[in-house]
């Protein structure tokens, strides 16, 4: 997995998402059909309203959920209590932008069908809104679903082709570092099986992980 994609994948997992990284999108054309890869979607991720990363406390006897450790979600994700959140993400090490393929109706159709809840309206309407606005809300089985095009990267976004949500890659890294540092007693014996979290966990155990203030990490304005 690409390193930057792995960082964002770990970030989304700690915020309660289930994700599919680096998903190839196949399209058939002509007759007889010839199939080719239209693009790779860096991340498709879904989070249900009550999803959380939880560590139970109290042993095997009776316990109260109020005693459990629940990791807070990142406010930058703008999650809604009553809405399933779906991210179709593009990850760049440079400036955040969307590949043009992420506005292709066929690519979005394949992506949305991977998490298709059974929409109350034709799926094409949701895809049209997503292309035009970078975000679409749809209903399925009495529940609200929000779909967003999200670009992760560093620097000023390149907004060619239409609107989308931006989450700085620097912010993603700092969130992960803080999660390791602030809960190091919890993670002491943890084996994450996630290469990003395992490396950050090791660096924290070795005492070399240093979490700096996000404002201090921001680039200085030009004179």
Which pLDDT tens digit goes with each residue over 200-213? 888 888 888 877 65
Q: How far apart are CA 78 and CA 172, in angstroms?
A: 14
**Is 212 among the domain residues?**
no
Q: How far apart are CA 117 and CA 113, in angstroms?
A: 8
**Is 192 among the domain residues?**
no
**Is 183 among the domain residues?**
no
pLDDT of 73 reads 93
Weakest-pLDDT range from 52-61, 81-90, 100-109, 156-165: 52-61
**Is 108 among the domain residues?**
yes
pLDDT of 59 reads 64
Residue 60: pLDDT band (50, 70, 90) is low
- The residue with greater pLDDT, 139 or 55, is 139
Query: % helix / strand / coil in the chain, to the nearest 5?
Result: 35, 25, 40
Q: How far apart are CA 212 and CA 65, in angstroms?
A: 32
What separation in angstroms does the CA of 37 have from each of 19, 24, 111?
Answer: 20, 6, 13
**Is 131 among the domain residues?**
yes
**Is 106 among the domain residues?**
yes
**Is 219 among the domain residues?**
no
pLDDT of 216 reads 41
Domain count, the chain: 1
Residue 219 has pLDDT above 50, yes or no: no
pLDDT of 217 reads 46
Residue 69 has pLDDT above 90, yes or no: no
Domain holding 141, by residue range, is 3-26+37-52+70-168
**Is 80 among the domain residues?**
yes
pLDDT (average), residues 37-57 = 90
């Amino acid at each position: 997995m690409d390193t930057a994609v792995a960082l964002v994948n770990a970030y989304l997992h700690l915020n309660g998402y289930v994700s599919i990284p680096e998903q190839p999108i196949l399209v058939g054309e002509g007759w007889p059909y010839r199939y080719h890869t239209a693009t790779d979607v860096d991340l498709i991720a879904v989070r249900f309203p009550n999803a959380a990363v939880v560590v139970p406390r109290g042993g095997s006897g009776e316990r109260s959920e109020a005693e459990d450790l629940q990791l807070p979600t990142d406010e930058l994700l703008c999650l809604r209590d009553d809405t399933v959140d779906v991210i179709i993400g593009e990850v760049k090490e440079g400036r955040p932008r969307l590949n043009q393929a992420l506005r292709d109706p066929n690519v979005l159709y394949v992506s949305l069908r991977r998490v298709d809840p059974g929409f109350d309206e034709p799926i094409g309407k949701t895809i049209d809104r997503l292309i035009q606005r970078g975000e679409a809300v749809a209903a399925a089985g009495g529940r609200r679903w929000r779909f967003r095009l999200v670009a992760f990267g560093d620097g000023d976004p390149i907004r060619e082709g239409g609107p989308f949500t931006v989450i700085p890659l620097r912010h993603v890294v700092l969130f992960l570092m803080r999660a390791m540092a602030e809960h190091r007693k919890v993670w002491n014996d943890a084996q994450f099986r996630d290469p990003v979290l395992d490396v950050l966990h090791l660096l924290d155990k070795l005492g070399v992980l240093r979490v700096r203030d996000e404002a201090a990490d921001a680039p200085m304005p030009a004179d």
